[in-house]
């Protein structure tokens, strides 16, 4: 590896993600493969990139206290990434961060910018970072402490209260454990846990889903179980959606917005690969990903195609399906622990626009369910406009539907006392079970 290459690569990635809109996980994965970094350097590069993105607003606030001139983008990201290492990463000595940052500035710029980088970082080392506790406005303080846009903090405070909003913002800054789902036709959870433990992994059984395993230590991507498709990565909350569809062998099931296919394949597994599962996605490329995932998991009942779920009545007759999953496109504000850049690209108007689309989707797939059938509506976001209010509006306009009376009773025991459980569904906050934030409800068609 070239001298200073790791931190210089981090600056390049941050600029491409933060300024040019690149997808963080795709760019990072491609870079790691191309550069051939070892596991230790990969871990540090990932930490610097995701950490700097995750704390961007906090770090930019600090930068404004030390620099009062416009910087070139690369120089701004260089300083922000250096701030992140000095502010958060105790294991990285400040002198190493300062030395490498100055050398990278010399390589990328000129003597003047290198001197500025050196002066700023040594000033920070001497004085320390500004104390955020002195900020009086609570929403602004939470916003800067946890690097969430102020409009979002204010929205969550108004919807869930300051305590819940603060806890949610804080946990969004903490990496969540990876969870996997076993393919029950290929192995059992007990056998998979035993094998992983024998290979040096630290694992525990999920209390939310009987197929779920939480990986507390070990790289599951390199395990034989993952490479042979006996386990697949999926958040526990996402597993809950497939579980609560309550599909059985022989049923006719619709997954209306199915990509990338995690919930689709889970439902097929609960059906023991018997019956028919039609999966759709708005984009043909993503529908193909669902087919590929089904093939890998040896699930033959899934038929994936491209379609806008709002027009499925043109393809299927009314009352075709025993079960429907509508995992609607959403703002993704529940998955900020894994995709921190989402919070900087969304606006309040985006949330409202998505809520309108979600209402349309629910209205348009509802006639396809058989009388007595069950429909699960879910999103991976935390916002009442996209969740409870969509359900409330739908039920008011569709008196032939109601929340399934068995929904709450059939939730896993550990979830039944969740603070977000209401008559309109279950809002899981990321701090509740150390997972993503997620919403789901199960409706039943009465007539």
DSSP 414: G
Inter-residue contact 72 to 117 (CB < 8 Å): no
For residue 139, give both structure tokens: 């929403």
For residue 279, give both structure tokens: 């999966």
Could you tell me whether strands 438-445 and 425-428 are parallel, antiparallel, or unpaired per DSSP bridges?
antiparallel
Residue 304 burial by Cβ neighbours in a 10 Å radius (0-12, 13-18, 19+): buried
Distance between CA atoms of residues 168 and 165, nearest Å: 5
Closest listed residue to residue 328, CA positions, set 283, 302, 362, 291: 362
Distance between CA atoms of residues 367 and 360, nearest Å: 12
* DSSP assignments along 212-243, one per residue: EEEEEES-GGGSHHHHTTSEEE--HHHHHHHH
Q: Check if 169 is active-site.
A: no
For residue 408, give both structure tokens: 């709450």
For residue 52, give both structure tokens: 């700097």
Distance between CA atoms of residues 303 and 250, nearest Å: 15
* DSSP assignments along 285-340, one per residue: HHHHHHHHHHHHTT--SEEEEE--GGGGGGTS-TT-EEEEEEE-----TT-TTT-T
169, 257, 330, 380: which is the annotated catalytic residue?
Answer: 380
Question: Per DSSP, which regions of 5-114 are E strands?
Answer: none
Q: Which residues pair with 445 in a beta bridge?
A: 401
Distance between CA atoms of residues 265 and 181, nearest Å: 10
Residue 227 burial by Cβ neighbours in a 10 Å radius (0-12, 13-18, 19+): exposed
Catalytic residue set = 380
């Amino acid at each position: 590896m070239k001298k200073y290459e790791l931190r210089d690569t981090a600056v390049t990635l941050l600029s491409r993600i933060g300024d040019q809109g690149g997808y963080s996980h795709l760019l990072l994965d491609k870079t790691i493969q191309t550069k051939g970094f070892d596991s230790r350097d990969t871990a540090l590069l990932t930490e610097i990139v995701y950490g700097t993105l995750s704390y961007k607003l906090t770090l930019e606030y600090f930068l404004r206290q030390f620099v009062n001139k416009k910087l070139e983008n690369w120089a701004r990201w260089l300083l922000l990434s250096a701030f992140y290492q000095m502010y958060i990463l105790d294991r990285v000595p400040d002198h190493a961060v300062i030395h490498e940052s100055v050398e990278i500035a010399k390589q990328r710029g000129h003597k003047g910018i290198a001197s500025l980088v050196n002066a700023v970082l040594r000033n920070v080392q001497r004085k320390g970072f500004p104390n955020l506790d002195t900020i009086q406005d609570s929403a602004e303080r939470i916003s800067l402490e946890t690097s969430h846009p102020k409009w979002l903090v204010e929205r969550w405070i108004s919807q869930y209260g300051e305590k819940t909003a603060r806890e949610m913002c804080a946990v969004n800054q903490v990496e969540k454990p990876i969870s996997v789902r076993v393919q029950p036709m290929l192995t059992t959870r007990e056998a998979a846990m035993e094998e992983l433990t024998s290979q040096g992994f630290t694992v525990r059984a999920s209390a939310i889903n009987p197929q779920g395993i939480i990986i507390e230590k070990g790289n599951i991507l390199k395990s034989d179980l993952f490479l042979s498709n006996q386990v697949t990565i999926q958040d526990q909350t996402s597993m809950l959606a497939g579980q609560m569809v309550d599909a059985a062998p022989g049923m006719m099931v619709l997954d209306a917005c199915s990509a990338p296919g995690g919930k689709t394949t889970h439902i097929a597994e609960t059906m023991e690969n018997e019956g028919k599962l039609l999966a759709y996605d708005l984009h043909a490329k993503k529908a193909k990903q669902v087919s590929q995932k089904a093939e890998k998991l040896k699930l033959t009942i899934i038929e994936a195609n491209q379609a806008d779920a709002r027009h499925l009545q043109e393809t299927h007759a009314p009352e075709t399906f025993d079960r429907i999953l509508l995992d609607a496109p959403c703002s993704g504000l529940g998955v900020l622990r894994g995709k921190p850049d989402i919070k900087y690209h969304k606006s309040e108007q985006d949330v409202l626009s998505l809520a309108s689309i979600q209402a349309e989707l629910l209205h348009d797939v509802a006639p396809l369910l058989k009388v007595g059938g069950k429909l699960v509506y879910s999103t991976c976001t935390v916002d009442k406009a996209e969740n409870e209010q969509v359900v409330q509006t739908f039920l008011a306009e569709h008196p032939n539907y109601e929340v399934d009376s068995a929904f709450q009773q059939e939730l896993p025991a550990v979830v039944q006392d969740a603070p977000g459980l209401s008559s309109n569904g279950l809002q899981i906050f990321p701090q509740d079970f150390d997972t993503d934030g997620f919403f789901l409800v199960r409706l039943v068609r009465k007539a």
